Amino acid sequence: MSAALRNDDPGAAIMARLDALAGFTDEPGRVTRLFLSPSHRRSVDWLLDWMREAGMAAFLDDVGNVRGRYEGATPGAPALLIGSHIDTVRDAGRYDGTLGVALGVAVVAELKRRGERLPFAIEVIGFGDEEGVRFPTTLAGSRAIAGGFDPTTLAACDPDGVSLDKALRDFGCDPARIGGLAMTRQAALAYVEAHIEQGPVLERNAAPLGVVTAINGATRFRGTLEGEAGHAGTVPMAIRRDALAGAAEIILGVEARAAREADLVATVGRIEAAPGAINVIPGAAHFTLDIRAPDDAQRRAAVADIEALCAATAKRRGLKLEMTRSHDAPAVVCDPRLVAALAESVAREGHAPLRLPSGAGHDAMAMAALCPSAMLFVRCKGGISHNPAESITAADAGAAFAALIDFVRHFDPERFIDEA
């Protein structure tokens, strides 16, 4: 039986959709779906088809988001936005981002199946760029909808030298129109995102679902150290300017600084040495840096210390350092009314509504600048994410679906209309 017909088991139907989506990948044998890549294109077409089948008017917008709208009882009414992202990290799992998009479409499909129209519209969004893996432009899609897209990022290039501007055009988008994608507060009642937890808290509490109270702030850098390449056999240790050894010292310094404080985390997730040969002293090292904390003052202090330690290490080793800040997002507190409403829905579905903060970043961070925003977390096995071993159960996907349907049915647009 096709996934679309399995109304008896919505969790299993959602899992089947997610398995299909995992088939769109840039790397055979792994799930890697980078922003504006060929596999992103195929997933866009697949999602547009599913949204239309679910009763939505759907289109690809000019920043690469997939948008589907299910009208309420009165066409043109303000919308409850439900979304997450369809881009992935490299060698990803199959649920990060995609689960929230699939749940949104499944909820609308269920409303359509029952012939229900609500006193508000629902817009489901599959954001194109949440991970920030290909370009240094994390949250480009949600920022555009929330009116916070920075047009200077169009000049940013991927590691192959392709600019975001060119990649968008090649994808069929018009970057000149991105400014016009910003929704008004009048049109957007609220934003709700379901997502796998990506941590172990729900599993440890035997809770399938959780309601997010706040999302950690994050700062990201791309760094380059330049030293001097040379012969690995002839240049004495004392006069080397080894860029990779400098980067290694920085990595350990970053780790030690973050370890000093609870809740603060810092990661060098990517490093490359150039020219990159067994018998050549590395003349350059390129690295990424990602620093997060629930408290903005705590994060800013850590960022300042880490910038200082990078500069001091480079100076002492005779290296030239360049650091570019590619992302800076404050911590976001979820809307208390939405948190309460989601908790009530979780409880009505028979689960303890555990409340927890999010260490991972999400499109909800950007959307919170537009309208009241909140998140529903779904338990994942071992808390593992950004890893092909990412795993959830069909039963938990079904629980999230039931809680979201309940939330949507109880959502009172009057409480969220034009309160700004």
Kindly list the residues in this chain that would bind ligand GLV in the complex (CB under 6 A): 131, 360-361
Least separation in angstroms between CB 290 and Mn ion: 12
Least separation in angstroms between CB 382 and ligand GLV: 17
Region near Mn ion per CB under 5 A, out of 44-52, 61-69, 91-99, 376-384: 91-99
Beta strands in 265-418 (DSSP E): 265-267, 271-274, 280-281, 284-293, 320-329, 332-333, 354-358, 373-378
Can you tell me whether residue 39 is helix, strand or coil?
helix
208 binds, among Mn ion, ligand GLV, none (CB under 5 to 8 A by kind): none
Shortest CA distance to 175 belongs to which of 64, 45, 37? Answer: 64
Q: Any contact of residue 290 with Mn ion (CB under 5 A)?
A: no
| Complex with ligand GLV: residue 218 or 400, whichever CB lies closer | 218
CB atoms under 10 Å from CB of 153, counted, come to 19
363 binds, among Mn ion, ligand GLV, none (CB under 5 to 8 A by kind): none
| Complex with ligand GLV: residue 123 or 290, whichever CB lies closer | 290
Least separation in angstroms between CB 87 and ligand GLV: 10
Q: Which residue lies nearest ligand GLV, judged by its C-beta?
A: 361
| Complex with ligand GLV: residue 131 or 390, whichever CB lies closer | 131
Q: Which residues fall within 8 angstroms of residue 400, CB to CB, at 6 or more apart?
A: 99, 103, 194, 208, 209, 376, 378
| Complex with ligand GLV: residue 230 or 359, whichever CB lies closer | 359
Please report where in the chains the tokens 């929330």 appear, as a residue.
146
Q: Which residues fall within 8 angstroms of residue 150, CB to CB, at 6 or more apart?
A: 143
Least separation in angstroms between CB 360 and ligand GLV: 4
Question: Taking a C-beta distance cutoff of 8 angstroms, is the pair 286, 224 a contact?
Answer: yes
| Complex with Mn ion: residue 109 or 360, whichever CB lies closer | 360
Q: Any contact of residue 97 with Mn ion (CB under 5 A)?
A: yes
Please report where in the chains the tokens 């998140």 appear, as a residue.
375
Please name the amino acid found at residue 268.
V
Q: Which residues fall within 8 angstroms of residue 67, CB to CB, at 6 or more apart?
A: 58, 59, 60, 61, 123, 124, 125, 126
| CA distance linking residue 401 with residue 194, whole number of Å | 9
361 binds, among Mn ion, ligand GLV, none (CB under 5 to 8 A by kind): ligand GLV
Q: Any contact of residue 141 with Mn ion (CB under 5 A)?
A: no
128 binds, among Mn ion, ligand GLV, none (CB under 5 to 8 A by kind): none
Q: Any contact of residue 87 with Mn ion (CB under 5 A)?
A: no
Q: Any contact of residue 100 with Mn ion (CB under 5 A)?
A: no
Question: Taking a C-beta distance cutoff of 8 angstroms, is the pair 183, 145 a contact?
Answer: yes
| Complex with ligand GLV: residue 97 or 175, whichever CB lies closer | 97
| Complex with ligand GLV: residue 37 or 345, whichever CB lies closer | 37
Residues lying near Mn ion in the complex (CB under 5 A): 96-97
